[in-house]
Amino acid sequence: MKIVVDRSSVLSGQNRKKTKLIFVLLLFWFVVITFRLIDLQVLEHKKLKQEVIEQNQDLITILPTRGTIFDRQGRILARSLPTASVFFSPVKGEPLEEQLKSVYELKAILNLSGTEINRIVNSIEKRKRFTWVKRKIPLELAEKIKSLKLSGIYLLNENKRFYPQGRLAAHVLGGVNIDDRGLAGVEYYYDSALRGQEGQQLIMKDARRKEYYIETITETEPGQDIYLTIDSNLQYLAEKELRQAIEKFGASWGTVIIMSPASGEILAMVSYPDYDPNNFPPAEEAMVNRAIQYTYEPGSTAKVVTAAAARELASIGYDTYYDCRTGSITFGGTTVRDHVRLGVLSFADVFIHSSNVGSIKMAEIIGEQNLYRMFKAFRFGEKTGIDLPGEEAGIVHPVEKWRKSSLRVAIGYELAATPLQILRAMNVYATGGYLVRPKVSLNGSILDGMLSEASLKPADVSQPVISGKTAQELVNLVFKEVIERGTGSQAKIDGYELAGKTGTAQKFDPALRTYSPTKHIASFVGFAPADQPVLSMIVVIDEPKGPQYGGQVAAPVFREIARKVLLYYHEFPLKVPEKMAIAKQNSKETGVTD
């Protein structure tokens, strides 16, 4: 019997088996893929999303261009210049040794110190995504680093604060930190206006964290420009003269402030020792702006207030005389002496010759309450309100806390004041009795980066502190004569009438618990010309060696600065000095002309 096999049916059966197997395999693969997608997109979605973001993006804060600071003539005192900063961001999967290799290759180029290297290495070892290597390097150096194409090393455009005049007006300008935030002076006081608004940049990278483009998320807004009342020429002049005096007398420190009397605008403010704001912060000793941040017992310059109290509150006449022949006076267990024996002095001569004995006798007539009232009227013990940070208020104790020796307030002891407060007190006479608030910004108050309407008005002027009559009389009878024939004769400028007052204060020695016989603060405060002042000024010099009196140490500095400032403002002599007249006559006789 012959068996016939249907080959077509056999092949058909095998194909069905293969088809089923393929279908099962495809089904299995589909199930695996489906479960994997669920795992990636649902179960581990948050984790993986964060991982991708961390691998591909770095969000960096961008600092805005800080506002420029100008002097009153439009000269640049501080500005921001473009620079670059270097940072490290690791390449994913790159060994630690390779990451550190990039940093070490920059050590010599960037002059990185051992401390800086340790900081960078510690940050990298902690797997931080962003590490500063060096901030604000020169652009040419940045180009050199860029050409090296080091792994993980990137460059970011920034700005660096630059002070083109160096040390000029350092204490007025202050300084900024590495992030361009003001830390002192105008830079601090007006920081919110100068700083502007920060921005943000997004650095996008591929899977291996290699930068491929930078996208700006938020644009920066530049800061507000500020114009100061400072005149660079006068500032330079005052700094030069003060520095010479400090060196000449071997003094510890000194300060000079020049003010426009009517407006309160500070034309120059010098504090020595000084510093270069390009290298901020300076040494602690140089950081202090002694014009406003140092209080001292002013000595006889405070008698400008005593004179006002005598006339306004005690009605002491100019024809009153005081016997000062003994050269000393004892009261409340304290003895006060004059620098020389002066004899019998009139009201005016007590101040012209700066008699402590006469001033104390006058203070006994004025009385404690009236003395206190007048010092408070002149706003001693309060800040002047100048637009600079760190101003000290000084101290004037209320009468109930006065000791038996507290009448010495009349001669500038047992109170504390800043040089600016003493200048403002003398300035009352330059303005005909008004107390003017000093300022260093022509912009005025800046709120939210905008000038307020009030800032465009003149400086604040209060009600008169003393009457115009009293102010004028004391200028004519006392403060002019201080310079013409009194203790301030070395401040005299031929051809000009000036008004002023000397001061010599002994410094209290905490170790000896008494006043030092060898350590003094010498000062002179005044204004010029006396009748129509264009400037008021104070000079304070601490612990001069050799000459110690304000008339010997500070008055000559006042003279040299004031003479040049007057000529700068085209305030020429009202009368031809005798020496000039003789020279002119001689030139005519010899046929020589100017």
| pLDDT per position as a tens digit, 10-23 | 556 666 777 777 77
Question: Residue 449 has what pLDDT?
Answer: 42
Q: Does residue 590 lie within any of the structural domains?
A: no
Q: Does residue 49 lie within any of the structural domains?
A: no
Residue 526 has pLDDT above 60, yes or no: yes
Confidence band, pLDDT 50/70/90 cuts, at residue 577: low
Mean pLDDT on 533-555: 97
Order of all β-strands in the sheet with 253-259? 266-272, 253-259, 535-542, 514-528, 499-509
Mean pLDDT on 452-467: 57
Question: CA nearest 299: which of 551, 510, 471?
Answer: 551
Token pair belonging to 576:
């031809």
Of 226, 254, 283, the one marking the end of a domain is: 226
Question: Residue 198 has what pLDDT?
Answer: 83
Confidence band, pLDDT 50/70/90 cuts, at residue 94: confident
- Backbone dihedral region of 546: left (phi > 0), alpha (psi from -120 to 50 degrees) or beta? left
Give the SS3 label for residue 59.
Answer: strand
Do 255 and 176 lie in one domain? The reply is no
Return the C-alpha torsion angle 146, 148, 149, 150, nearest 10. -110
Tell me the sheet residues that pair with 79: 162
Question: Residue 589 has what pLDDT?
Answer: 40
Do 211 and 254 lie in one domain? The reply is no
Q: How many domains does the chain have?
A: 2
Question: CA nearest 195: which of 173, 209, 176?
Answer: 176
Mean pLDDT on 561-583: 77
Q: How far apart are CA 26 and CA 434, in angstroms?
A: 99
Residue 250 has pLDDT above 70, yes or no: yes
Tell me the sheet residues that pair with 158: 83
Of 226, 250, 265, the one marking the end of a domain is: 226
Question: CA nearest 184: which of 271, 264, 267?
Answer: 271
Question: Residue 265 has what pLDDT?
Answer: 96
E strands in 138-252: 153-162, 175-176, 182-184, 199-205, 211-218, 226-227
Question: Residue 62 has what pLDDT?
Answer: 79
Judged by average pLDDT, the poorest of 228-232, 322-326, 479-483, 512-516 is 512-516
The answer to whether the CB of 433 falls within 8 A of the CB of 305 is: no
Question: Residue 10 has what pLDDT?
Answer: 53
Q: Does residue 178 lie within any of the structural domains?
A: yes
Confidence band, pLDDT 50/70/90 cuts, at residue 299: very high
**What is residue 85's DSSP assignment?**
E
Do 418 and 350 lie in one domain? The reply is yes
Q: Does residue 469 lie within any of the structural domains?
A: yes
Do 385 and 517 lie in one domain? The reply is yes
Confidence band, pLDDT 50/70/90 cuts, at residue 585: very low
Write out pLDDT tens, residues 305-346: 999 999 999 999 999 999 999 999 998 888 999 999 999 999
Question: Residue 536 has what pLDDT?
Answer: 98
Do 203 and 297 lie in one domain? The reply is no
Of 175, 195, 226, the one marking the end of a domain is: 226
Write the CATH number for 209: 3.90.1310.10
Token pair belonging to 126:
């902690």
Q: Does residue 45 lie within any of the structural domains?
A: no
DSSP H helices, 475-539, are 480-485
Mean pLDDT on 509-534: 93
Do 433 and 573 lie in one domain? The reply is yes
Q: Does residue 20 lie within any of the structural domains?
A: no
Confidence band, pLDDT 50/70/90 cuts, at residue 458: very low
Question: Residue 36 has what pLDDT?
Answer: 64
Q: How far apart are CA 234 and CA 564, in angstroms?
A: 9
Do 221 and 238 lie in one domain? The reply is no
Its domain, for residue 213, covers: 61-226
Write the CATH number for 505: 3.40.710.10
Do 569 and 433 lie in one domain? The reply is yes
Question: Residue 193 has what pLDDT?
Answer: 94
Q: Does residue 35 lie within any of the structural domains?
A: no
Do 193 and 250 lie in one domain? The reply is no
Do 260 and 366 lie in one domain? The reply is yes
Q: Report the percent of the chain where pLDDT is more than 70.
A: 84
Annotate 313-339 with b (16+ C-beta within 10 A) or e (fewer): bbebeeebebebeeeebeeeebebebb
Pairing relationship of beta strands 321-324 and 343-346 according to DSSP bridges: antiparallel
Question: Residue 191 has what pLDDT?
Answer: 95
Q: Which of 201-210, 396-405, 466-475 has the highest mean pLDDT?
A: 466-475
Confidence band, pLDDT 50/70/90 cuts, at residue 298: very high
Q: What is the pTM of this model?
A: 0.84
Confidence band, pLDDT 50/70/90 cuts, at residue 593: very low
Confidence band, pLDDT 50/70/90 cuts, at residue 224: very high
Confidence band, pLDDT 50/70/90 cuts, at residue 579: low
Token pair belonging to 436:
């003017």
Q: How far apart are CA 412 and CA 409, in angstroms?
A: 5
Do 221 and 276 lie in one domain? The reply is no
Do 436 and 543 lie in one domain? The reply is yes
Q: Does residue 594 lie within any of the structural domains?
A: no
Confidence band, pLDDT 50/70/90 cuts, at residue 156: confident
The mean of the pLDDT values for the chain is: 87
Question: Residue 18 has what pLDDT?
Answer: 72
